[in-house]
Amino acid sequence: MLLLKNGYLIDPASETEGYRDILINTENGKIEQILPQGTVPSANDMEEIDLSGQIMAPGLVDVHVHFRDPGLTYKEDIASGAKSAAKGGFTSVVLMANTKPTVDTVETLGYVLEKGKETGIHVYSCANVTMGMKGRILTDMEALSARGAAGFTDDGIPLMHEEVLKEALRRAAKLNRPVSLHEENPALIANNGINAGKAAAHYGIGGSPREAEISMVERDLKIALTEAADLSIQHISTKEAVELVRKAKRQSTHIHAEAAPHHFTLTEEAVIRHGTLAKMNPPLREEEDRLAIIEGLRDGTIDMIATDHAPHSLEEKEKPLTEAPSGIIGLETALSLGIRELVNHGYLTMMELLCRMSYGPARFYHLDAGHITAGGPADLLVFNPKEVWTVDKFASKACNSPFVGEQMPGVIAYTICGGKIVYRG
């Protein structure tokens, strides 16, 4: 048995908070009891951890990560990605399917899921919507779902053919699996990863205009409103797209959206300061967009925070701006950025932040996660929201982050998954 005592519990699933003691059965990985502070008697076979001054919350759930396995494991692999997740307080992650080979067969999906079982956290994976992510022939969604696909996405590439998207949504609805969409029209983009505005002008390139996202979001929400599948607009970056989602959500409970920490924290000014370390798809945009994303998180238009953890090698990120790959790592800084940018500025309560980072994502992917319940999974995060740390060394193989060297609030003391301590700060 493991007793977590004197911690301040925040559970967004039940909207419960207050001082509690939590007794964990380390044999079955379940929560045995949740009791008022100081009411659990000591026992010889019990390990006790005093969490005075710490918050106990559900283990975080990230439904948009890239672990590059199979095929690109010099950037990250499932083992190193899981360690990075645990260090960031995540006990459940959903992998994207743009690996090499892509996750478009049950064999590749099986490889990913079996490797995930070897880590200390819950590793789920999406499968592709289309074969080879080419946007034309649908995968065997039924077989992939039966093998354990958490959902379907061609993240990294938009679905350009409307009929393909419509049929994918119909089949996903029958399988009760969500579909997540990357919304950037490549026909409108001169140089990806850089906003077609001040940043692009600074570098003398064309960049990626906001219309590339807006046009796809508008089209796909119109299609989604005629279908019954749960759909997420991934890593939203423009104020117009936020408003389109807001209006669509008034018409359907199947519409969802996610925001990445970098999009509610940074603007295109960061690209001018940090170069390739702030290059990402979709790109960082303007201050009005950043504030609109925060408002979307505040009013529930955006119901998930997802990191889009995208590791790359140092050599790749040192290439010229237009040649370097897009993306930054995010698992180890996400909670701190949420505290610093959203909670400390009064946009969200801690309860609301933890909901967007655990219960909300878990609900979208139908995961048994994001809640603290007697008899439920002993997946917990323990952290001090006021203690400060400096971003330096990562558990990830990669270090492509524009936040290196910054001081941030929110020091993680323990990540507990399945009743076992998988990270100790």
Residues 6+ apart with CB under 8 A from 24: 1, 2, 3, 4, 30, 31, 32, 378, 416, 419
Which tokens in the block code for residue 122?
A: 């819950």
Q: Are 93 and 394 in contact (CB under 8 A)?
A: no
Tell me the C-alpha distance between 265 and 287, whole Å. 9
**Active-site residue, selected from the candidate residues 220, 308, 379, 392:** 308
CA nearest 32: which of 5, 8, 11, 3?
3
Q: In 3-state terms, what secondary structure has residue 208?
A: strand
Sign, Cα dihedral of 390, 392, 396, 398: positive
Residues 6+ apart with CB under 8 A from 184: 158, 192, 208, 212, 213, 216, 281, 282
CA nearest 89: which of 366, 376, 303, 380?
380
Q: Are 166 and 142 in contact (CB under 8 A)?
A: no
CA nearest 260: which of 235, 286, 283?
235
Sign, Cα dihedral of 284, 286, 292, 295: positive
Q: Are 67 and 79 in contact (CB under 8 A)?
A: no
Q: Are 105 and 74 in contact (CB under 8 A)?
A: no
Would you call 308 a catalytic residue per the annotation? yes
Distance of CA 78 to the CA centre of its chain: 15
- Asked if the peptide bond before residue 36 counts as cis, ω within 30 degrees of 0, the response is no
The tally of CA atoms less than 13 A away on the side-chain side of residue 381 is 30
Distances (CA, A) of 5 to 46, 197, 330: 12, 52, 30
| Residues carrying an active site annotation | 308
